[in-house]
Amino acid sequence: MAYYTEIFTPETYQAFTQSDRTIDGFYERHKEVAKRVKAGDILVCYVTRISRWCGLLEILDNEPFRAIKPDFVETDDQHVLCFHVRPKVWLSLPDSIPIRDDKIWQHLSFTQSYPKNSSIWTGILRNSLNKLNDKDGELLAEMLSMQANNPFPYPLDEKELKSLKKHTVNRVDKVVQVSVPENDESIDDNEGSQNNDVRESIKMQALLAQIGACMGHRIWLPKADRSRVLKEWNKGTEALLDRLPLNYDEATISTIEQIDVIWLKGRSIVRAFEVEHTTSVYSGLLRMADLLALQPNMNIKLHIVAPDYRQEKVFQEILRPVFSLLEKAPLSEICSYISYSKLKELSKQKHLDRMNDGVLDDYDEQAEL
């Protein structure tokens, strides 16, 4: 028996709670990791935005099946990869166990070394079907079973209640959900000095440039960053462009020139990347939004590249109302997140020179409410 994470949003938690709780669904991107899951394995369930453990689901299938009509969210449900499950524990939100409760926090291998106001520990809880080590899985299973049999109340505080509130805005074509994040910039775990931040950001720009050049793309870098990036960029520097071969108005060109890394084929932009190492993370998103506002018909793939522990912050910002009302589509549908660790993993792939930019779709993540 193995233990795996199952990550619910408050909305998917509510939908599952109201169902008969016999089928659990995942996104298509989980296809490969889902192959590891077997009958008898346990899904340890966690609710995002309130950071609580809520249940244990036993897998009943040795392989996933495809749902004909998934029903885990209200509209455009993409949870097409499914398992039959048997709930062993399913808690109400006021009974669910906060991850920062001492009985949990001090004993999990991925939290016990960090202060409770940190977010650097969140890597394993960013995706469903991440395998937990046996001790962590056994601890959580024991704590959740005890809570089911003898509940200790964990009432939702004001911040948690606020985070559960769903916000929607009406576009001309559809209603979209948005996030309204708290103005909280206080947590930056072990970030070091500003100089270290800049240096790491430059390394990621160099890595993006090197990967793109290896795949046969021409590369654009902002002129202000070039000298520093070229100190880190080891191969393919001949692909660097001196000027952009694009025919846009001055405002558009000025916006594009400031994007951290651009991959081009011929006279077309293929991918654009903003590296966000700092606390706010939204400056790159603003630049991407500006570009789409100026050129709503531009058909390119946009990416925010940021440290692994900044994923939740990137998703909070990308789902802001201002980014959800762009003429083309909500920014969350056009711009994805790539973690530093995933970028480094991609850079180590053999035969990058035989790959095309589509491989990035295996390494990026979309914001989800």
DSSP string, 84-99: EEEEEEE--TTTSEET
d(CA 346, CA 60): 34
Strands 42-47 and 3-8, sheet pairing: parallel
Give this prediction's pTM: 0.61
> What pLDDT, in 10s, does the model give residues 124-160?
998 899 999 999 999 999 999 999 999 999 999 888 8
**Could you tell me which residues come within 8 angstroms of residue 23 by beta carbon, excluding any fewer than 6 positions away?**
67, 82, 83, 84, 85
Which is nearest to 9 in space by CA: 175, 168, 165, 170? 165
The full 3-state SS of 36-61, as one line of letters, equals: CCCCCCEEEEEECCCCEEEEEEEECC
Which is nearest to 129 in space by CA: 254, 14, 37? 37
Amino acid code (one letter) for 194: Q
> What pLDDT, in 10s, does the model give residues 151-164?
999 999 888 887 78
DSSP 28: G
Higher pLDDT, 308 or 178: 308
Most confident of 174-188, 319-333, 339-353, 355-369: 339-353
Long-range contacts of 222-228 (CB under 8 A, 24+ apart): 222/257, 222/258, 222/259, 222/260, 223/257, 225/260, 228/202
